[in-house]
Structure 1
């Protein structure tokens, strides 16, 4: 494993402090799902179905809002976007403890639509801070940072919710988001690299949003279908054998494998294509159900597919940043965020239906097969639109 490229990237001006800031800034968004679920289901005593509806409405808002916020960055700059989104986010989370269920349901769409897209901002900032030939490594660093945020954020949120209350946890998210937003506003990092040319008229969206970019976005959908379905199926598998308390261990194994994959991916000289990474991820998910009934075997079988997680996220970001014009990078990274959100929205209920009919093994198998089908669709569409080019970038 060659770690020298990571050292070189982290030594570039501005990379280390911004990477650290984005790590902490992403922890509150990582905790929002579990905190809202606990608040609605337990504190408001509305049940998990009602909690899932709040999450679904917020997810729809996020899917629509990410490209809007990205376009605002392209047109007005990061600070203008933060002024809108940080205000909306802080207002929601700080007043959420006072809201009844129906108010919370309606406003969750608004905070999804106008909230701070920390995941997308991190990818765009890291892209702007490094030259193009080092973006694979930089985006691998960013993907690893995301995994670490998802390892720490939910755990911290659950600790606050159980030690104090879900109201305190909601307010904690609000304060954390406000602090992170103010720090980002003060830092005002560049959103386009200094070597990139941005003079002249801006290309229209449909001049570049086609072919290979569409293919990569579809791959992003397929990846999160597999990942969301994997999480739901893993939870169902542990619940069946009464081992829910081991969920943290299983999720730690997933994240650790993804981090290891990101380290390997950032150090290789020739990277695999995003399409190949999706095919490998989906194919390796199908047999994970063989570990149903055993915590140890479930962890071991989840490791191979999760080795591709951080590399796939990094690879998709690298190709998107190269294929889209710099003046539209906020929009295209926002569309990538929407693709990830769409995959989550499809994968979780799809796995749930499969689990209801055949248990956790069928959940793993179904979303794995769907991931392979999505990969096939991405290949066909990219081939149709770019007949004279490679069907998908090969890295």
Structure 2
């Protein structure tokens, strides 16, 4: 009797069929959508209250600073006492701050938004970091876990596309206060649903109170991954501003949305392809540096795109390295973080992105004024390239088999 050949199942399908993965992924994406537009929502609300662009920018910036500073503190608390309690407390504080800012009378001075923006940013619940830490527990197979991280890194691009469309274009553009209020309600509902799920409730807590010097950054491997995410943040901040400037210079400011969508599309498709095929052979640290090189080259080529059409094509190609790179970074972080520090380690990577993006946007603004969009694209490429060069001498500490460092 002939045997029926077994057709290997896609690691991505296996990941999504793992208990709880698809459900938690959807909840986390909904919870992350308001965070993706938080700074912009506060900027629009400040303008709505009559604030200048300078003041509105300060309000937006303070929200970003809050997110960068608050996330590791919340991650440390989650590692110590568990996900549900910290997520519930943080989302309550964030939602109240956002609703209070939305309900301020129209006669309120715009500067009053500053403390609300700071609190809302600092208490944004780190749902993404919680999900990645959960994958280490609920997806025991390394190949399937790698696929789960690849799917998560890919579909978060949908959050960056849908969030601005729903909260900004459809709501806040007409009523900034309503946009901020709706975002607060969505954030609260989705985060509470995530926190109430069985998997976060069963995630063990370390019970260990750690000091700043006793956290995940004491490991050289996590510091190396942080350097990569800072470089990525600078690259993102510079690229987004350069895209906007390039569209305006071409006399087609309305093309910004399509160009950003092309950027996200390349990342989405490439990430899902990686998830479907599973992790390739070779060492993960080599894959990391190879993807950093592709990011550098891809973003460098954007500086010489002669038209918006070719820029869109270049953005698809440049974006194709992003989700695969994040997949490797997140996979290594989960493997290399000391037990009981995984959530904080993931939040540090997010803080690196926030901080880098702020630097990248500021630097790109100066370069666009001085030389044009091409210089800003080139600066983003140089930033991620420098991060790769800085990490290369320490690549051995990124080998999971040699995790103690």
Q: What TM-score do the two structures reach when normalised by structure 1?
A: 0.89
Name the structure 2 match of 1:9.
15
For residues 151 and 11 of structure 2, the distance between their equivalents in structure 1, rounded to whole angstroms, comes to 10
Q: Structure 2 vs 1, CA of residues 119 and 201 (structure 1 numbering), >3 Å: closer, same or farther?
A: closer
Q: Which residue pairs with 2:4 in the alignment?
A: none
Which residue of structure 2 lines up, in the alignment, with residue 78 of structure 1?
83
Deviates more, 1:322-331 or 1:24-33: 24-33
Whether the 8 Å contact between 1:82 and 1:116 is mirrored in structure 2 is yes
After superposition, the Cα gap between the structure-2 partners of 1:319 and 1:214, relative to the gap in structure 1 and judged at 3 Å, is same
- 2:74 pairs with 1:60: no
Q: Is the 8 A contact 1:28 1:177 kept in 2?
A: yes
Q: Deviations over 1:28-67 (max 9, x none)?
A: 11222332222223x1232332222112111111111111
Kept in 2: contact 1:128–1:191 (CA 8 A): no
- What residue number does 1:281 align with? 295
CA deviation profile, 1:122-159 (whole Å, cap 9, x unmatched)? 32233332115122111111112211111101110123
**From 353, 378, 391, the counterpart of 1:378:** 391
Which residue of the partner structure matches residue 367 of structure 2? 354
Pairing 1:305-384 to 2, within 5 Å after superposition: 305-380=318-393, 382=394
Aligned to 2:5: none
Q: How does 1:1-395 map to 2 (within 5 A)?
A: 4-41=10-47, 43-97=48-102, 98=104, 100-133=109-142, 134-161=144-171, 164-190=174-200, 205=214, 209-266=218-275, 267-268=277-278, 269-270=280-281, 273-292=287-306, 294-380=307-393, 382=394, 390=396, 392-393=398-399
Distance in 1 between the 2:300 and 2:202 partners?
Answer: 40
Residues 336 and 398 in structure 2, CA contact (< 8 A), matched pair in contact too: no
1:290-322 deviation digits (Å, cap 9, x = unpaired): 225x22111011122210111111111110110
User: Cα distance 1:140–1:3, how it changes in 2: closer, same or farther (>3 A)?
Assistant: farther
Structure 1: runs of 5+ lacking an equivalent: 384-389
SS at the partner of 1:345?
helix
Instruction: State the number of aligned residues.
Output: 383
Q: Secondary structure at the match of 2:377?
A: helix
Distance of aligned partners of 1:319 and 1:162 in 2 relative to their CA distance in 1, 3 Å threshold: closer
In structure 2, the CA distance between the partners of 1:111 and 1:35, relative to structure 1 (3 Å rule), is closer
* Structure 1 Cα separation of the partners of residues 101 and 141 of structure 2: 42
Give the superposition deviation at 1:193: 7.2
Using the TM superposition, give the Cα deviation of residue 103 of structure 1 relative to its aligned residue in structure 2, in angstroms: 1.9
Measured on the aligned residues, the alpha-carbon RMSD in Å equals 2.6
Single out whichever of 3-12 and 128-137 deviates more from structure 2: 128-137
Instruction: Give distance in 2, aligned partners of 1:109 and 1:18.
Output: 28
Q: Distance in 2 between matches of 1:362 and 1:341?
A: 21
Alignment partners' CA distance in 1, 2:68 and 2:75: 12
Q: What TM-score do the two structures reach when normalised by structure 2?
A: 0.87
1:310-350 per-residue CA deviation (whole Å, 9 max, x = no partner) reads 11111111101100123111111111111111211211111
- Contact map agreement 2:98 2:117 (CA 8 A) in 1: no
Deviations 1:193-214 (A, max 9, x none): 79xx979999983687322221
Between 1:217-226 and 1:128-137, the stretch displaced more is 128-137
